[in-house]
């Protein structure tokens, strides 16, 4: 396998960190991470697929090893993060790529895909939602924030930022929590305790309501463009249950549909099942 490189690229005055592996002459897969993670969540994909694919996994501003500007200096919305990632991809010279998206990776990735449908060769969604059917019951506290953002609705969400709350994100719904590397939530906890981190993440949760408003646009993109779609979904995800995966079938004809008995971060427990699926799926995309 190819050596993973840990790089940075200046994008509009921000240093965007990213992991890159594989020969750039090979087909590219852009790996878009979720909350509360970073490109670290794709370490298995980078290690196992770099022999055949060019893999690029950026960290969003405020996440991972990218710069963390103050919310006074950078607007933490999904529109803005997607714009930063879009510019990052342009500066990298990537004009043809598949997107793998998980959690926050979906609103970032679908904004890029709808802006540049000609660039997208395929979509891989691992619990990356685009349907109201995919919004789980656990969103109640965030919906309360949407309805009335105040000290009370913000404080109700703060337990999610504790070490135990972050551990839950990774281990809930897994068959065996021992299958999940605890480094993941410990890294996230360190980042969550930086200045402004709670505000930034609350800002993004508040802004998430604007993603739901774009779901019809994203669904139309899927219907009109019919990108090859691989679904690899942890069915026990409280944020985005299996009904979100099922909904893609309404709009996409060429769908490779796979459900796993695990949680939100399906790669943690079932990476050795999912990554061969990605390889086979991408071979079909490349050779069609």
Question: How far is Cα 270 from Cα 63, in angstroms, rounded to an integer?
Answer: 24
Backbone angles phi, psi at 227, to 5 degrees: -65, 140
Closest CA to 100 of 88, 112, 109: 109
> Catalytic residue among 33, 40, 54, 264, which?
264
Is residue 58 within 8 A of residue 42, CB to CB? The reply is no
Tokens 């019919």 sit at which residue? 226
How many residues appear in the chain?
Answer: 288
Closest CA to 8 of 63, 53, 65: 65
Structural element, H or E, at residue 186? helix 183-192
Structure tokens at 35: 């909350």
Quick check: is 186 catalytic? no
Question: How far is Cα 177 from Cα 269, in angstroms, rounded to an integer?
Answer: 9
Catalytic residues: 264
């Amino acid at each position: 396998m190819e050596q993973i490189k840990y790089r940075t690229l200046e994008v509009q005055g921000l240093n965007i960190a990213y992991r890159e592996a594989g020969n750039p002459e090979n087909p590219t897969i852009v790996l878009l991470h979720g909350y509360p993670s970073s490109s670290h969540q794709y370490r298995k994909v980078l290690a196992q697929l770099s022999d055949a694919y060019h893999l690029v996994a950026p960290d969003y501003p405020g996440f991972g090893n990218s710069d963390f500007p103050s919310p006074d200096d950078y607007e933490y919305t999904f529109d803005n993060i997607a714009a930063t990632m879009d510019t990052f991809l342009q500066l990298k010279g990537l004009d043809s790529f598949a997107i793998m998206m998980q959690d926050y990776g979906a609103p970032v990735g679908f904004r890029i895909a709808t802006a540049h449908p000609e660039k997208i060769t395929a979509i891989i969604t691992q619990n990356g939602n685009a349907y109201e059917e995919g919004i789980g019951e656990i969103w109640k506290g965030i919906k309360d924030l949407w309805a009335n953002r105040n000290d009370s609705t913000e404080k109700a969400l703060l337990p999610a930022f504790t070490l135990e709350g972050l551990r839950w994100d990774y281990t809930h719904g897994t068959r065996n929590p021992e299958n999940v590397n605890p480094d993941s939530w410990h890294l996230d906890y360190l980042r969550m305790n930086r200045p402004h981190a709670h505000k930034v993440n609350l800002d993004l949760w508040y802004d998430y309501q604007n993603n739901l408003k774009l779901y019809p646009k994203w669904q139309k993109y899927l219907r009109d463009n019919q990108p090859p779609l691989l679904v690899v979904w942890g069915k026990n995800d409280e944020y985005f249950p299996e009904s979100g995966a099922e909904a893609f079938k309404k709009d996409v004809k060429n769908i490779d549909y796979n459900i796993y008995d695990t949680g939100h971060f399906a790669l943690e427990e079932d990476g050795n099942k999912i990554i061969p699926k990605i390889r086979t799926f991408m071979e079909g995309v490349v050779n069609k």
